[in-house]
Amino acid sequence: MRGGGVDQAFQVDLRGVVDLLSRHLYSSPRVYLRELLQNAVDAITARGAGGGTVRIETGGGLRVHDDGIGLTEEEVHRLLATIGRSSKRDELGFARHDFLGQFGIGLLSGFLVADEIEVVTRSAKAGAPAVRWTGFADGRYRVEPGERDEPGTTVTLKARPGSAELLSPEIVRELARSYGSLLPVELTVDGAPVTGGGPPWTVAHADPARRRRALDAYCRELYGFDPFDVIDLDVPEAGLTGVAFVLPQPVAPAARGAHRVYLKRMLLAESVEGLLPEWAFFVRCVVDAGELRPTASREALYEDELLEATRQALGERLRQWLVRLSETDPARLRAFLRLHQLGVKAMALQDDDMLRIVDRWLEFETSAGPMTLAEFRRRHADARYVTSVEEFRRLSAVAGAQGVGLVNGGYVHDTEIIERLPAVDPDAALPRLDPAELTTHLGVLDPAAELALRPFLAAARRAVERLGCEVVVRDFDPPSLPALYVTSRAAQHQAELEEAREMADGLWADVLGALNGAVQADRPQLVLNHRNPLARRVTSLTEEGLVELAVQGLYGQALLYGQHPLRPADTAALNRSFLGLLEWAMHTPDAEAGESK
């Protein structure tokens, strides 16, 4: 077509819009009552008379009555018949934070459970007549004179087939209590009151113990547990008040905390995520906020700068509670740390005060038993730490016996905490242990014994030469340990490079080979314990073949004891030594004499 076009209005398929709401916006059709309550409370707020009443009746369909500001006929056409129209709060010029919902989309939620919605309303403006608006799920609506003596609105729903249960008295009472029990209006269902004294955390008690008992009971009602402690929350810029209930049992840090959030005392959702920092998984919160924004479905919080600031402020409140606990009730702090140490450790990675609390109060696994880092440093001037649980288990007994205190840094956040401690206390530096250091703490033999062992050592070194290992004899505790496999971090790195080179293709094998050649590291050592009776008997052997089998057997045992990974060459040596020693035992003179009998 040539020339200017003609503007056309979009045609809206109301059934399609309702299907979109039910499948993609709202999580459940049960939210219909929340939307109706929001509209009623907003109408009461707009009238500005204070107080207000919302009555819900369930006989012969659902009716929601309010004594709010009501609508004129012109407003009915503008606000109820145009999908996506600006909210009533904007039309009437009120501040955004005064209202809960939005008339247009909110009223459409009634079509989730009904095929017909009737609204009878009368504006509070002087002389305004009552108006009846009837909307149908097929997209039609009708406006006609209505009957109502006082300003306000009545919304009536007639259940569609299959939705009658959602409008039943039992379900309506349950939904009204869930969504509206804290509303600042008088809310009743079939004459029975739903609203009471407001948020429990705002109820004043002359006796703090009585208030705590009331909040404990509230926590049991909501979550089914008695809280370890209750923390009051207050973020003025978000208009937020509430309480955090500290969980009385451990919880997995990966589980995101879900919190009960009210907006202007209307329930937003029971399981809102993202309200607190991720490390604060040890609390469950119930809060009411006046300034935080909901998402379009009004079942979650909109991620913006205010929510981020609120999240940080709530995290700071939890941090202050912990600091105060450390100053006023150390025994209770220790009990808390035993339950929720992972959350506190996560805080300590970013917060200096939390780091000091962890250093002073949180027990770590050490070679001297469970102990705080501060106490361990006082007791062990030559303290070290290792970065894995396996390495700690391998070396702690030997290190402890030689007077080298060892801290296990292999659990979540432990190594990062140990390495961050000098940031708050330069004297708290704790060096990392290089396993090769241990050999410098092991006792050496006297010169005569060392000289006598030279032939054995020569044969022993030949036995493990192709395994990339050296053999030394030392005198150390515990005497029950016959041999110890010790490798430095540089040697481990070199071994990993060699293993990667063997598995790589030609080009990468050459590159890794060049890197491997550039690394000069001490070879791993098999340290035989001269205090162990078996090791001493092995060092007294003179037959080279038997020395080879025995030393390779001790080598394999040391690898298994230390939980070192076994290479194919290690496994072959271990099998060879086992079978060789078994065959040697079966051919000893005593064994042959037994066979002859």
- Kindly tell me if the per-residue pLDDT of 87 is higher than 50: no
* Structural domain includes residue 514: no
Please tell me whether residues 459 and 414 are part of one structural domain. Answer: no
Given a contact cutoff of 8 angstroms between Cβ atoms, the answer to whether 355 and 417 are in contact is yes
CATH value at residue 160 = 3.30.565.10
pLDDT of residue 350: 87
- Kindly tell me if the per-residue pLDDT of 437 is higher than 50: yes
Phi-psi region of 40 (alpha: psi -120 to 50; beta: other; left: phi over 0): alpha
pLDDT of residue 196: 81
pLDDT (average), residues 85-102: 42
Q: Which two tokens stand for residue 249?
A: 């049992």
- Kindly tell me if the per-residue pLDDT of 90 is higher than 50: no
* Structural domain includes residue 507: no
Given a contact cutoff of 8 angstroms between Cβ atoms, the answer to whether 118 and 134 are in contact is yes
User: In this predicted model, which residue has the larger pLDDT, 434 or 329?
Assistant: 329
Q: How confident is residue 89, by pLDDT bands cut at 50, 70 and 90? A: very low
* Structural domain includes residue 508: no
Please tell me whether residues 174 and 35 are part of one structural domain. Answer: yes
Please tell me whether residues 97 and 142 are part of one structural domain. Answer: yes
pLDDT of residue 236: 96
**In angstroms, rounded to a whole number, what is the distance separating the alpha carbons of residues 487 and 499?**
16
Please tell me whether residues 404 and 530 are part of one structural domain. Answer: no
Please tell me whether residues 120 and 180 are part of one structural domain. Answer: yes
Q: Is 233 exposed, middle or buried (0-12, 13-18, 19+ CB in 10 A)?
A: buried
**What Rg value do the Cα atoms of the chain yield, rounded?**
38
* Structural domain includes residue 260: yes
**CA 497, 502, 508: angle at the middle one, nearest 5?**
75
Contacts of 111 (CB under 8 A, 6+ apart): 14, 18, 21, 117, 135, 137
- Is residue 277 reached through a cis peptide bond, with omega within 30 degrees of 0 on the bond before it? no
* Structural domain includes residue 518: no
pLDDT (average), residues 401-430: 92
Domain end position, chosen among 159, 193, 227: 193
Which residues on adjacent β-strands are paired with residue 245?
230, 284
pLDDT of residue 399: 87
CATH value at residue 450 = 1.20.120.790
- Kindly tell me if the per-residue pLDDT of 94 is higher than 70: no
pLDDT of residue 518: 44
* Structural domain includes residue 462: yes
Q: How confident is residue 168, by pLDDT bands cut at 50, 70 and 90? A: very high
Looking at residue 394, its amino acid is R
Domain end position, chosen among 278, 303, 328: 328
**In angstroms, rounded to a whole number, what is the distance separating the alpha carbons of residues 160 and 61?**
10
CATH value at residue 429 = 3.40.50
* Structural domain includes residue 502: no
Please tell me whether residues 148 and 32 are part of one structural domain. Answer: yes
What's the pLDDT tens digit per position in 97-138? 444 444 445 777 888 899 899 999 999 998 899 999 998 887
Q: How far is CA 463 from CA 272, 521, 577, in A?
A: 65, 21, 11
Please tell me whether residues 36 and 179 are part of one structural domain. Answer: yes
Q: By mean pLDDT, which of 275-289, 540-554, 582-596 is the weakest?
A: 582-596
Q: How confident is residue 328, by pLDDT bands cut at 50, 70 and 90? A: very high
Q: Which two tokens stand for residue 159?
A: 């259940």
Q: Which two tokens stand for residue 528?
A: 């035989």
pLDDT of residue 27: 73
Please tell me whether residues 373 and 307 are part of one structural domain. Answer: no
**Alpha-helix runs per DSSP H in 262-329:** 305-328
Residue 567 CB neighbours (<10 A): 16
pLDDT (average), residues 330-344: 91
Please tell me whether residues 53 and 101 are part of one structural domain. Answer: yes
What's the pLDDT tens digit per position in 512-534? 455 444 444 468 899 999 999 99
* Structural domain includes residue 340: no
Q: How confident is residue 439, by pLDDT bands cut at 50, 70 and 90? A: confident
Given a contact cutoff of 8 angstroms between Cβ atoms, the answer to whether 235 and 229 are in contact is no
Please tell me whether residues 411 and 312 are part of one structural domain. Answer: no
**588 HSE (CA, 13 A, CB side):** 9
Which residue, among 60, 66, 27, has the nearest Cα to 159 in the 3D structure? 60
Number of domains in the chain: 4
**In angstroms, rounded to a whole number, what is the distance separating the alpha carbons of residues 122 and 129?**
6
Q: By mean pLDDT, which of 46-55, 285-294, 442-451, 488-497 is the weakest?
A: 488-497
Q: How confident is residue 398, by pLDDT bands cut at 50, 70 and 90? A: confident
pLDDT over 70 percentage in the chain = 83
- Residue whose entry in the numeric block shows the structure tokens 């970065």: 387
Please tell me whether residues 299 and 403 are part of one structural domain. Answer: no
Which residues on adjacent β-strands are paired with residue 235?
240
pLDDT of residue 103: 44
**In angstroms, rounded to a whole number, what is the distance separating the alpha carbons of residues 569 and 576?**
10
**In angstroms, rounded to a whole number, what is the distance separating the alpha carbons of residues 22 and 3?**
42
What's the pLDDT tens digit per position in 206-260? 788 999 999 999 999 999 999 999 999 999 999 999 999 999 998 876 677 789 9
Domain end position, chosen among 328, 345, 373: 328
User: In this predicted model, which residue has the larger pLDDT, 503 or 493?
Assistant: 503
pLDDT of residue 229: 96
Please tell me whether residues 306 and 384 are part of one structural domain. Answer: no
- Kindly tell me if the per-residue pLDDT of 508 is higher than 90: no
pLDDT of residue 6: 66
CATH value at residue 286 = 3.30.230.80
**In angstroms, rounded to a whole number, what is the distance separating the alpha carbons of residues 321 and 412?**
23
**CA 531, 536, 539: angle at the middle one, nearest 5?**
135
Domain boundaries, position 114 = 14-193
